[in-house]
A and B are shown apart, each in its own frame.
Chain A
Amino acid sequence: MSNLDLSPLLQRLEEYQPQGRTALLPALHDAQQLYGYIPQAAAKAIGQALNVPLADVYGVIEFYSLFYSQPVGKTVIHICNDPACALAGSEALFKQIRFQQESAPAIDSPLSLTVEMAPCLGLCEHAPAVLIQGQPVARANRQTWQELVSGKGERPSSMLGGTVSILTANCGLGHTVELSEYLDLGGYQALRKALNMPPRQVIEEIKAAGLVGRGGAAFPTGLKWEAAANAPGEVKYVVCNADEAEPGTFKDRVLMEDDPHSILEGILIAAYAIGAQKGYVYIRGEYLLPYQAMNKAVEDAHQAGFLGNNVLDSDFNFEIEIRRGAGAYICGEETALFESIEGKRGFPRLKPPFPTTYGLFGKPTVINNVETLANVPVIIRKGSAHYRKLGTEKSPGSKLFCLSGDVVRPGLYEIPFGVPFHHLLYDLAGGVRPGHRFQAALFGGAAGAFATPDHLNVRLTFEDLKEAGLPLGSGVITVFDETRDLRDICLRLARFFVEESCGKCYPCQIGTQRQFEIMERIARGEVQKDDWERLQDVGWTMTDSSLCGLGQTAASAILSAMKHFPHLFQPV
């Protein structure tokens, strides 16, 4: 690789240089785009330009699964391997495509191929899904090989349902709603209104609306904003967490692809409320189309005066930068996400201190999920009292549910909080696939828990689900009919966590590996004496003692399966 031409990279590095280490991931993305992988010489040039120790540059490359330190095929194919796609036949698809790889020419040929199993790609309603050079293809098992590699495979289009369309009002139109259309639909009116309110009043309105985070942790949004607004310091940040990677979740992808300006509007209002001057949107590396849609939206918003200095002729100045992740579920954990923006391995930090006082670059930061921010313009435009007309007292508003698996009409469903699960499943989504009956559903994704037929009547609210021992999480519901072996599903979840554990704390670093090994035995029908106790000890140790939310929930689904379906874990 001595004939590597570094000049195009060096040119780009000149632009990145003033930013220093925070530009590391963008620079690595550029290098990979230029060379197909990240050659050592390129990594060295990047480290020197950004003043990052070379060992750290390598550490970062190695952390993110979409960065390659060795040459890969000219075409890279990622095949989803998680529950929803597995139910739709991703395993067979992988074997077929793997076969193509075996007959593909060597790595330096233009026809060379690299095929990888991938964690959930957030295309669960289009299962089985694949990415070809980052471009999503829906129902890949129904496409010919030629269609796949020529980029003519079926493009996923949003599949929407539900009983209300508030957050999804501008979604499912078959195209991305651009600025002019967004304005025609009443867009940026909430921002105008907010800019005429004192920032405190904006926060009070969000508090009064009872909005809680939609990323999974359900923390009250208004309290978060208030804490950041009250934190000492001039420099503050708003970060939009668009690292949607919980297996079974795809709501944020649809929102960003279809209606990116509503997210920007939410970010702008949050920034005005807490006194932030800069915001980041951190989008998972697998979401190329949302990344492009959000970038375009930022550009357009800038030109139209919704971003930059003196937003809408007010005193409010604000800039937004869109960042791409590079294949790491852990970066959805808020502090790991900060580390990633700062150009580091995505290791979660110890908490406290919390982001509202010590967040991105050590400054007070509000970090909110995409869907949470999409609620903000809705609340401000019509007021908290109007917002509260939907939903329940403790769970006001509407919620997006990602339905996939063995269901007649998978898709994104917007419903008011309080709708019973069976109504969503049977009346709205058409029920379990024909000829089959409901066995179980995974609520909350890999970090979630199983619902059984006994849970069909549960109302979908934070309070009802909590009482039923089910997490609402990010709104994932993956449905399994009676033919499915839940041991296989548990094995996939275990493998997901092995792949995605960052390795920082021992319980998760080793526990995910041991959990996977025991699940492998169980799925093979080779349960050993005392495996039940081993699985329980590993699971509860991860739950009790892990450093971050990933490890603390890495055993959640398996422990719930052990509770509801204990016979599956016994020797045959």
Chain B
Amino acid sequence: MSETIRITIDQQTLQVQAGSTILQAARQAGIDIPTICYHDYCTANGLCRICVVEVEGARTLQPACVAQVHDGMVIYTRSERVLRSRRTILEMLASSVDLSEAPEIQTMLQQYHSDSHRFPDAEVRHPPVIDDNPMYIRDYAKCILCWRCVQVCAEDAQYTFAINFSGRGYETQISTFYEISMPESSCVFCGQCVGVCPTGALKPKRQWLLEMGYTPDDIMNLTRSQRQRRKRREEAAARTE
């Protein structure tokens, strides 16, 4: 297992452990490769493709987060092709969803000289906020489909399987079974999905209310028991009518 091999990244020759990914090898050498969907504690799916690098002899660019190094591999992390792909992916992302609460992606947009308004008249994904439970809200206008929430809800952590996808392609969205509300689903409100969301699409309810301008006192007045009491009063009133 401790076998080491020699690779070249951006003209720099390195000894790295066999079996490591290009991303691990690059980090070891202090070379920055950007990532979006990648998360240290989630299964890497290599789907955002922002981490692509050019590997000599390979027809297409390779995702550094999952592609393993092999002996004699020659890698370029900032070639023309790599930069074009990264810049364009960022521009396309910015044209699709609200990245205002994704500071890391904002920084990348600057680093890669991406134009957030590159695509005029682009269809934006802006479904309404889903506020269907007391714990967290789902604002899929900010969702970049990194899959982390689906993964931690399933085999990567919680084995709850409350969410999966609806639609496909550009119309894909995270969804419960027949879009039922979270309390009706198998969700156990563990909060892991909220924890791994990189863009503020999933957010604790309290934080969301604070951001909407509610004061902590307002929120106290809106607590669940209060609301339920109010609801019960209203229902009772309706019955007596």
Residues of chain A having any CB pair with chain B under 8 Å: 40, 43-44, 47, 53-59, 62-63, 69, 328, 345, 350, 498-507, 509-514, 517, 521, 528, 534, 537-538, 540-541, 543-547, 552
How many contacting A-B pairs (Cβ < 8 A)? 154
A545-B175 in contact given A56-B161, A499-B169, A506-B49 (Cβ < 8 Å): no
Contact B46–A547 (Cβ < 8 Å): yes
Residues of chain B having any CB pair with chain A under 8 Å: 45-50, 52, 60-61, 63, 66, 81, 84-85, 87-89, 91-93, 95-96, 118-123, 145, 154, 161-172, 175-178, 185-186
Main secondary structure of the interface of B (DSSP, over half): loop
Contact A506–B166 (Cβ < 8 Å): no
Which residues of chain B are within 8 angstroms of A505 by Cβ–Cβ distance? Answer: 46-49
Chain A, residue nearest B166 (CB): A62
- In the assembled complex, the CB of A88 is this many whole angstroms from the nearest CB of chain B, namely 27
Contact A55–B92 (Cβ < 8 Å): no
Contact A498–B49 (Cβ < 8 Å): no
Which residues of chain B are within 8 angstroms of A53 by Cβ–Cβ distance? Answer: 154, 161, 164, 186
Q: Report how far A528 CA is from B176 CA in the complex, Å.
A: 40
Contact A54–B186 (Cβ < 8 Å): yes
Q: Report how far A45 CA is from B87 CA in the complex, Å.
A: 46
Q: Report how far A455 CA is from B168 CA in the complex, Å.
A: 37
Main secondary structure of the interface of A (DSSP, over half): helix
- In the assembled complex, the CB of A70 is this many whole angstroms from the nearest CB of chain B, namely 10
- In the assembled complex, the CB of B96 is this many whole angstroms from the nearest CB of chain A, namely 5
A506-B164 in contact given A59-B175, A500-B169, A517-B121 (Cβ < 8 Å): no
A513-B165 in contact given A501-B170, A504-B45, A506-B49 (Cβ < 8 Å): no
Which residues of chain A are within 8 angstroms of B161 by Cβ–Cβ distance? Answer: 53-56
Which residues of chain A are within 8 angstroms of B66 by Cβ–Cβ distance? Answer: 350
Contact B170–A40 (Cβ < 8 Å): no
- In the assembled complex, the CB of B199 is this many whole angstroms from the nearest CB of chain A, namely 13
Of A44, A56, A69, A541, which one neighbours B88 at CB under 8 angstroms? A541
Chain A, residue nearest B120 (CB): A528
Contact B175–A350 (Cβ < 8 Å): no
22 of the cross-chain contacts (CB-CB < 8 Å) are: A40-B178, A47-B177, A53-B154, A55-B164, A56-B164, A58-B176, A58-B177, A59-B165, A63-B168, A350-B46, A501-B168, A502-B168, A503-B172, A506-B93, A506-B145, A510-B92, A517-B121, A534-B118, A537-B88, A540-B85, A544-B60, A545-B49
Of B46, B61, B95, B119, which one neighbours A544 at CB under 8 angstroms? B61
Which residues of chain A are within 8 angstroms of B145 by Cβ–Cβ distance? Answer: 503, 506, 509
Q: Report how far A543 CA is from B84 CA in the complex, Å.
A: 12
Contact B177–A54 (Cβ < 8 Å): yes
Q: Report how far A505 CA is from B62 CA in the complex, Å.
A: 13
Contact B84–A55 (Cβ < 8 Å): no
Q: Report how far A513 CA is from B93 CA in the complex, Å.
A: 11
Q: Report how far A132 CA is from B161 CA in the complex, Å.
A: 37
Chain B, residue nearest A346 (CB): B168
A506-B89 in contact given A55-B186, A517-B122 (Cβ < 8 Å): yes
Chain B, residue nearest A549 (CB): B60
Contact A55–B177 (Cβ < 8 Å): yes
Of A63, A534, A546, which one neighbours B49 at CB under 8 angstroms? A546
